[in-house]
Amino acid sequence: MYRTHTCGQLRIDNAGQTVTLAGWVQKSRKLGGMTFIDLRDRYGITQLVVEADAPAELVEAATSLGREFVIQATGTVVERQSKNPKMPTGDIEIRLSSINILNKSVTPPFTIEDVSDGGEDIRAKFRYLDLRRGPLKEALMLRHKIAHETRNFLDAQGFMEIETPYLIKSTPEGARDFVVPSRMNPGQFYALPQSPQTFKQLLMVAGYDRYFQIVRCFRDEDLRADRQPEFTQIDCEMSFVEQEDVLGTFEGMMRTLFKNVLGVDIPSPLPRMSWFDAMDKYGSDKPDVRFGMTIHDITSVAKGKGFSVLDGAAYIGSIAVPGAASYTRKQIDELTEWVKRPQVGAKGLIYVRVGEDGSLKSSIDKFYTPDDLAVIVKAAEAAPGDLVLIMSGDNMRKVQNMLGVLRLEMGGRLGLRDPKVFAPLWIVDFPLLEWDDETQRFYAMHHPFTSPKPEHMDLFYSDKKEDLERVCANAYDFVLNGTELGGGSIRIHDAEVQKRMFEVLGIGPEEAESKFGFIIHAFQYGAPPHGGLAFGFDRVCALFGGSDSIRDYIAFPKNNQGRDVMIDSPSEIDQTQLDELCIKTDVN
Ligand code: ASP
């Protein structure tokens, strides 16, 4: 037997017992002839001590230990002289009678402690060492707990976990596919699933009623902190449901996760906001509603005073930043530079300071009388002490989006975005289609299997672009603290409606047949009404853990260039493999 206890297990009640522990030497130090060793495993750290008067070979063994040696140590649990209240095992130590070195370690490239001296790149290269550190261990434990609670909840609700294939044909979710060449079918390729969307719908046609899967998905997109080329979804689908049924079920799931994992109660029912309100008031389809500072349309009151920038704008919007009237000129100049950065893309920023005494001072005093400004301030719903920030432009959604970005920045600066505060909500009533000026065609806002709202069916069959733009979808997103955690829709289950959808998207009958024939055919054999959604599992984990970055919650993530620097992938493959696959590369 290698051990009687783990390194996180022993307490003062165990005093007097003879125990054997096994683990990694985090560090060892000598103090007045005694050797202290911190022994670590997944469960915690226990202090071991070799007394100055211990047998010589024991003292020698203790002295020979290096960082990350794997040892087995036997001794007696004793109460510590100087206790460490920060460690669960901090009341005791093990007075050793023997040490058995199970394996040596070369000196690790960085210290494996909660706060490491290693930079990000070196830790990524030695991820298996980084994973020994407390914060990453906690992140993966949280991930495990959320997965476990998810499975328990869905199982209790009658959902079956069913695996779907990874080697498939392209599923259109709006990103590029990763492809895999087929050796047995030269010149042909599988695609890795962007999601199991079509398969889960086929499972509904097959009568499985309630499906879920915690499943890997692949999207070949440009990467950001909250994106990975492979990521995990909690993917779900239900039959004989309307939007209310889906929202009710998954509100229940999220409520259970919040309660059982974090001990947090979220509101019941959850707030809902239409997509249009989210865009108008927050400049985003994933609003952070932990704080107000919403966007106001001040177009009608801010125009017509001879200031050409505003007079020529199609839309003028504002936010009122509480308590920021006292901003200095320098602070406002800095903010103006900030909004001009390409990430925001504004041309400039107009401000009105609302003094505590109600006095008004603005960057447009030349054109606007105090009375004019008072009307603007009222429309902006600003209070004494606020700083009103104004932006304008030709495109309403673009300006709202920039104001939304500024709003988030100001919320952050004012400390209103506490990661321990959770403000979940549903966004509903999405447009079904999005027009793209560049390609002069419609795209599905969610995906092409999303159904139009029944009351918008007439518009959906109209040939007019304006009508099609007005069609709303039975689609919904679950949003938490400014992040889209999940989304889904009630699906089209009628082959004719699905055909019309492809037509609207400019996918001709032949292309539809070759790409999606299987699902159109399946719909002819009794497809039940169905709908579902998927949650971004990595994002759920990160937000529950209070972090922005999903990378910490994935055991072996990729970096910003989509590389796994530990195994050095992607990499070239040898000529024989290429020949077998009938592939010629053309890389210069
Ligand atoms: N397949 C969708 C997605 O990955 C989710 C859904 O509609 O269920 O976003």
Q: Are residues 317 and 237 in the same domain?
A: no
What separation in Å is there between the alpha carbon of 442 and the centre of ligand 1? Answer: 19
pLDDT band for position 376 (50/70/90)? very high
Cα dist. 151→119, 145, 236, 244, 433 in Å? 36, 10, 11, 22, 34
**237 Cα nearest atom in ligand 1:** 8
**Within a domain: residue 126?**
no
**DSSP reduced 3-state for 312:** coil
What separation in Å is there between the alpha carbon of 355 and the centre of ligand 1? Answer: 48
- As given in the structure block, the two tokens for residue 410 are 């100001």
For range 492-521, the mean pLDDT: 91
What separation in Å is there between the alpha carbon of 266 and the centre of ligand 1? Answer: 24
Residue 358, sorted as left (phi over 0), alpha (psi -120 to 50) or beta, turns out to be left
What separation in Å is there between the alpha carbon of 471 and the centre of ligand 1? Answer: 20
Please tell me the predicted confidence (pLDDT) of residue 225.
64
**Within a domain: residue 418?**
no
Point out which residues pair with 117 in neighbouring strands. none
Residue-wise pLDDT for 69-99, tens only, equals 999 999 999 999 999 999 999 999 999 999 9
What separation in Å is there between the alpha carbon of 42 and the centre of ligand 1? Answer: 35
Q: How far is CA 279 from the centre of its chain?
A: 20
Q: How far is CA 316 from the centre of its chain?
A: 32
**Within a domain: residue 127?**
no
Please tell me the predicted confidence (pLDDT) of residue 4.
98
**Within a domain: residue 110?**
no
Is the previous residue joined to 193 through a cis bond, with omega within 30 degrees of 0?
no
| Containing structural domain, residue 556 | 135-268+534-580
The secondary structure of residue 130, as a DSSP letter, is H
Q: Which of 103, 125, 150 is where one domain is finished? A: 103
Return the CATH number at 409: 3.30.1360.30
For range 316-335, the mean pLDDT: 96
Q: Which of 359, 394, 413 is where one domain is finished? A: 413
Q: Are residues 365 and 440 in the same domain?
A: no
Cα dist. 300→57, 303, 304, 382 in Å? 88, 6, 9, 17
Q: Are β-strands 315-321 and 441-444 bridged in parallel, bridged antiparallel, or unpaired?
A: unpaired
Return the CATH number at 544: 3.30.930.10
pTM: 0.94
Q: Are residues 408 and 427 in the same domain?
A: no
Please tell me the predicted confidence (pLDDT) of residue 478.
98
**236 Cα nearest atom in ligand 1:** 8
Please check the confidence at residue 136 and state whether its pLDDT lies above 90.
yes
| Dist CA 361 CA 368 (whole Å) | 10
Ligand 1: which residue has its CA nearest to atom 8? 533
Q: Are residues 515 and 555 in the same domain?
A: no
Q: Are β-strands 92-103 and 44-50 bridged in parallel, bridged antiparallel, or unpaired?
A: parallel
Ligand 1 neighbours by CB, cut-off 6 Å: 173, 195, 197, 487-489, 532-534
Q: Under a CB-based contact definition with an 8 Å cutoff, are residues 123 and 131 in contact? A: no
Is the previous residue joined to 269 through a cis bond, with omega within 30 degrees of 0?
yes
**DSSP reduced 3-state for 425:** strand
- Name the domain count of the chain: 4
Please check the confidence at residue 172 and state whether its pLDDT lies above 70.
no
Task: Find, among 195, 189, 192, 198, the residue nearest to 166 by Cα.
Answer: 192
Query: 340: number of CA atoms within 13 Å, CB side?
Result: 10
Q: Are β-strands 210-218 and 160-161 bridged in parallel, bridged antiparallel, or unpaired?
A: parallel
For range 205-210, the mean pLDDT: 98
For range 45-65, the mean pLDDT: 96
Q: Which of 528, 552, 569 is where one domain is finished? A: 528
Q: Under a CB-based contact definition with an 8 Å cutoff, are residues 393 and 348 in contact? A: no
Ligand 1 mutation target, pool 217, 484, 533, most atoms within 8 A of CB: 533
**533 Cα nearest atom in ligand 1:** 8
**Within a domain: residue 7?**
no
**Within a domain: residue 209?**
yes
For range 120-127, the mean pLDDT: 96
Return the CATH number at 73: 2.40.50.140
- Output phi, psi for 550, to 5 deg: -75, -15
Task: Find, among 582, 584, 586, 588, the residue nearest to 183 by Cα.
Answer: 582
Q: Are residues 328 and 449 in the same domain?
A: no
Q: Are residues 481 and 521 in the same domain?
A: yes
Ligand 1 mutation target, pool 171, 197, 539, most atoms within 8 A of CB: 197
Please check the confidence at residue 173 and state whether its pLDDT lies above 70.
no
Contacts of 275 (CB under 8 A, 6+ apart): 285, 427, 428, 429, 430, 431
Q: Are residues 372 and 429 in the same domain?
A: no
Please check the confidence at residue 174 and state whether its pLDDT lies above 80.
no
- As given in the structure block, the two tokens for residue 259 are 């309660």
| Dist CA 78 CA 46 (whole Å) | 12
For range 502-511, the mean pLDDT: 92
Q: Under a CB-based contact definition with an 8 Å cutoff, are residues 538 and 228 in contact? A: yes
Q: Are residues 152 and 202 in the same domain?
A: yes
Residue-wise pLDDT for 208-235, tens only, equals 999 999 999 999 988 776 689 999 999 9
Please tell me the predicted confidence (pLDDT) of residue 227.
83
**Within a domain: residue 150?**
yes
Please check the confidence at residue 424 and state whether its pLDDT lies above 70.
yes
Q: Are residues 427 and 495 in the same domain?
A: yes
Q: Are residues 403 and 433 in the same domain?
A: no
Q: Are residues 25 and 88 in the same domain?
A: yes
**450 Cα nearest atom in ligand 1:** 7
| Dist CA 77 CA 13 (whole Å) | 9
Counting residues of the chain whose pLDDT is more than 90, the rounded percentage is: 94
**Within a domain: residue 49?**
yes
| Dist CA 374 CA 359 (whole Å) | 9
Please tell me the predicted confidence (pLDDT) of residue 171.
66
Query: 181: number of CA atoms within 13 Å, CB side?
Result: 13
Q: Are residues 329 and 369 in the same domain?
A: yes
